[in-house]
Chains A and B, each alone.
Chain A
Amino acid sequence: MTLLFQPPRPDHVPADRIVDFDFFHIPPGMTDPAEIWHDLRRSDVPRIFYTPRNGGHWVFLDYADIVEGYRNHEIFSTYQTPIPPIEPFPVMQPQGVDPPDHNVFRRLLAPMFTPTAVRGMVEELEKRAKALIGGFADKGECDFIQDFAARYPTGTFLYLFGLSEDRLGEFLDLAGTFFRSTDPAARAQNVVDIYAVLESLFREKERNPGNDIASAIVTARDADGNQHPWQDILNCGFLLFVAGLDTVTNTMAYIWRYLATTPAARRHFRDRLDDPDAFLRAIEELMRINAVSNLFRRVTHDCTFRGVALRKNDRVILPNTVANRDPTVFENPDMIDLDRKVNTHVTFGVGPHRCVGSHLAKREVMVSLAEWLRRIPDFELVPDSGETRAFGGSVMGFESLKLRWDV
């Protein structure tokens, strides 16, 4: 296959900026996949370096550069960015479209995910968290990923799209293949399957609109009073499907893993169940420390950035977990301070493509944790559950997380 956005041979990269780094590779025995990034951060590699792995790409390590990568869309595009390159890759609306064109769908989605809009979903989020936790609380153990963290955000997606919870299994399968399969044929078929589901879903919502986000997207009108292009509607559905599942699942996995091993942190949250400001501050800190996403950009034209020559179509990774521990921005960056007052973490990105669903994601975590602690105030990792495997990549996380508690 000929790649439309084939990166050039890196003859523009000086030898002293080349580092052999594979962001998918988690060495055996490493239990936290983010440690590969923190090992880099603590090493003396250049703060902007190039690795030939995964098709070749740059890595930025300073907060200021990562933030600039997000903000400066004239150099760093979100269009066709996968690392390693996959083409054609679905153009997610609005994520895969550069400003100002991205603003059409951004303006459509943003009002549906404001803090006020998300507050209107809290009752439903609480009900679903209670039901899921109630399903295993009396057993005294669970696989947190399989039994909660993967199911919960997928159920939220069904709710947002006005779909019945009966379809959870079908959507869990679609998401499981999308996020975990390494078989190229299965992956290609999976994208076709997801689009087929979205097609029939949006057609149904077009005929019978309800009070849900899918209906709002399909019935929205552009400045001229027309429906948005059908492919863009599907691409927006695709974004909502892929963006809010694995990220939330693994953020929760990180947080519950930390709480399972840190009694003082459990107590901190338990003592603040009725103090929303303090609860939010503590969640914000765990969002900073447990940033699971490493996002991609593609260079739009040959240029020099911070004195480094970049070529058109070079890929760049912006590792949020690294930015979030930059000592020039955060006091005691490696310390988890659940009362941290100033916390400009970039877990949801910054700039024009900042995560539009951040308030929903945070609310899902807050509601889940509050319901969990009310029912299961203390819990721990199942000792020697052995092959709790960690994975790297664009979203880092764990394949399973076995927890136990007294009943």
Chain B
Amino acid sequence: MKVHVNLSLCQGHARCEEICPEVFATDTVEGKCLILKDIVPDDLLEKARLVVRNCPEGALRLSRDKGAAAEGETA
């Protein structure tokens, strides 16, 4: 599974980094979400799903699509 962040929605709550630091970090310029591993390893999938559901801005999503991220998003 691939994880996407919509940075125009992200406000830097960093709940993602708190819950799953293996996949998510916070950038040091704007304090917004930084994805470390866009393809989520199977053993972290459950955690990544929790992260998506806990994002207060709904800025994250998981997709099966391993291709390019949708418009307006960076992976």
Interface residues of A (CB under 8 A from B): 106-107, 110-111, 113-116, 277, 280, 341-346, 348, 350-352, 354, 356, 358-359
Contacts and interface: CB of A to CB of B under 8 A. Distances in A.
A346 B50 CA distance: 17
A344 B28 contact: no
Interface residues of B, number: 22
A15 B57 CA distance: 35
A376 B30 CA distance: 40
B31 A354 contact: no
Given A110-B32, A343-B54, A352-B11, 12 more contacts: A111-B28, A114-B17, A114-B31, A116-B17, A116-B25, A280-B18, A344-B53, A350-B13, A354-B13, A356-B12, A359-B14, A359-B18
A314 B11 CA distance: 26
B31 A341 contact: no
Contact of A111 (B25, B31, B54, B55): B31
Contacts, number: 61
Contacts of B50: 341-342
Contact of A116 (B13, B26, B32, B53): B26
Contacts of B12: 110, 114, 354, 356
Contacts of A356: 12, 31
A40 to B, nearest CB: 23
A107 B13 contact: no
B29 interface: yes
A120 B57 CA distance: 26
Looking at chain A's contact residues, the main secondary structure is helix
Nearest to A71: B57
* Chain B CB within 10 A, most for which of A110, A116, A343, A351: A110
A406 to B, nearest CB: 35
A243 to B, nearest CB: 16
Contact of B28 (A114, A341, A351): A114
B28 A358 contact: no
Given A110-B12, A113-B31, A115-B26, A350 B57 contact: yes
Contacts of A106: 30
A280 B18 CA distance: 9
B53 to A, nearest CB: 5
13 contacts: A111-B28, A111-B31, A113-B31, A114-B12, A115-B18, A115-B21, A277-B19, A344-B53, A350-B11, A350-B13, A354-B11, A356-B12, A356-B31
Given A107-B29, A343-B54, A350-B56, A115 B11 contact: no
Contact of B54 (A113, A114, A344, A352): A344
B51 to A, nearest CB: 10
Interface in B1-41: 11-14, 17-19, 21, 25-32
A328 B6 CA distance: 24
Nearest to B11: A354
A352 B29 CA distance: 16
Contact of A110 (B19, B30, B54): B30
